[in-house]
Structure 1
């Protein structure tokens, strides 16, 4: 328990009711943080996710059907998402494997041209625990994104939100300033590392199409309904004079091979329209949230 690398030691407990009231630009109540995840699945490896269980439950390589499920998202689904955001003048954060810059330059280039912020997401879509040289993988990811975009990424999301006990130290050593893996609050907070604090932004594991649709198998419209109910509550709390008052952040996460398919893309469009119609929210990218939070003076 005394190991300073343990999450509970890196991330000091702070009750929500004890935190200071924060204010967003324009006195908005909730910052919306949309995150689009694009990944590189290697046909040589077991697939990170499966839509089709192999016959007799035997693991087979190459896993062509599940590889192709994801590949559809990169060839078709991504472009539906790009249009959905572009036509509404919304710029999400792109959680991107470093190798996508090399394997799918058309996808990475379109996102960069559209003004999406690149948040590093590992080099390949492989759990961090299975990487032999974690600092080397992080450096390779940062270098690939920097070469492609001309700017080093400021944020990191582990593949599947995976981290070892040493990951935060490796990230800050590589120049990463914020991370989405610590989904512990409705507001940003600080994670202690050997190289200074790392800011944890409110990513989401519940407003996320993988657990909601691909794992738990809810009806597709549950995504929109859950997001809007979640937002209503956050906005109500933010406007209150009670102990939970003050600005909140609502992140949501989508993947081209899940939400970018024909029978679900309309849900994203519906959600974006509902969010854009509100006058109490503001869309922000990861770096914008980071800079805003660091400027509040909160030291949580």
Structure 2
């Protein structure tokens, strides 16, 4: 009986393995590091409690509709998103676009611009709500995949749960729905397999460290934190990548890093990264295909 069948769902899905004891991976051209950017686009409804708040409610009592906090997020979709498009496009970079299924209609113009820029679309839930609060996860996953496929013509290969939340059954449901990789398991600097009841998913290294929700909304760090922390993160992974390649994620939201006092630091971070040789600026799907190719090659060599 497998660990998952025994009920040890989390640890059974991702058995422990030290990075120093794995079969070596090789990036194309002898590169040291693959860097991917995840732009998160979410649909917040003003009639529901806000997923994040910047302004506490008067007298501590939540009020709906929550106009100031909804408008804080809405600014990102009206203005901040377009700064991301300029910053990435001017540097020839493509993002992975983690989008709520409902946002494909609510923010059709922004989603169209992301698709025109050839960004990779991945599922980010149908609405911005923890998976634990979804009455029918299977339906929500299906609705999200269908919304993205209807919009882009292609079903998403990747998934990032709202708030990185998963219940014990989420990974199984994602695998059954055809999702190939997830961002929720922030436990490594290289892709790792995740066991499910039907087939393997792949965890692509995501981040709660170089993530503006953590830096700006939760920890309330200064505006330049994404540059200071991001640069240090990159420099260390680049150094280590000389022996074993690493993956670095940069996770950004239009209402946070897309504001005027932060966007310049994101530009400086990209310019620092692009000033190094041996760097691949990839999407999640490109990282997945590289990793699966490495695994297939290693399997053939072992036979």
Q: TM-score, normalised by structure 1?
A: 0.96
- Distance, in Å, in 2 between the alignment partners of 1:188 and 1:81 is 26
Which structure 2 residue ranges, 5 or more long, are not aligned?
A: none
Does structure 1 residue 94 correspond to structure 2 residue 92? no
Aligned residue in 1 for 2:222: 219
Residues 157-168 of structure 1: pairs in structure 2 closer than 5 A? 157-168=160-171
Change (3 A) 1:5 1:95: farther
Aligned residue in 2 for 1:54: 57
Aligned residue in 1 for 2:258: 260
Does structure 1 residue 120 correspond to structure 2 residue 123? yes
Give the deviation of 1:21 after TM superposition: 1.6
The 3-state SS of whatever aligns with 1:263 is helix
Aligned residue in 2 for 1:283: 281
Give the deviation of 1:5 after TM superposition: 5.8
Aligned residue in 2 for 1:292: 290
Structure 1 segments, 4+ long, off by >2 Å, are 1-5
Give the deviation of 1:179 after TM superposition: 0.1
Give the deviation of 1:4 after TM superposition: 4.1
The answer to which structure has the higher helix fraction is 2
- Distance, in Å, in 2 between the alignment partners of 1:264 and 1:103 is 25
Residues 1-300 of structure 1: pairs in structure 2 closer than 5 A? 3-4=6-7, 6-239=9-242, 245-297=243-295
Please tell me whether the aligned partners of residues 5 and 165 of structure 1 are also in contact (alpha carbons under 8 angstroms). Answer: no
Which structure 1 residue ranges, 5 or more long, are not aligned?
A: 240-244
Give the deviation of 1:124 after TM superposition: 0.8
Deviation digits for residues 148-189 of structure 1 (CA, Å, limit 9, x no counterpart):
000000000000001111000000111000000000000000
After alignment, is 12-21 or 286-295 more displaced? 12-21
The 3-state SS of whatever aligns with 1:250 is strand
Query: How many residue pairs are counted as aligned between the two chains?
Result: 294
Give the deviation of 1:95 after TM superposition: 0.6
Aligned residue in 2 for 1:242: none
RMSD of equivalent CA atoms: 1.2
The 3-state SS of whatever aligns with 1:274 is helix
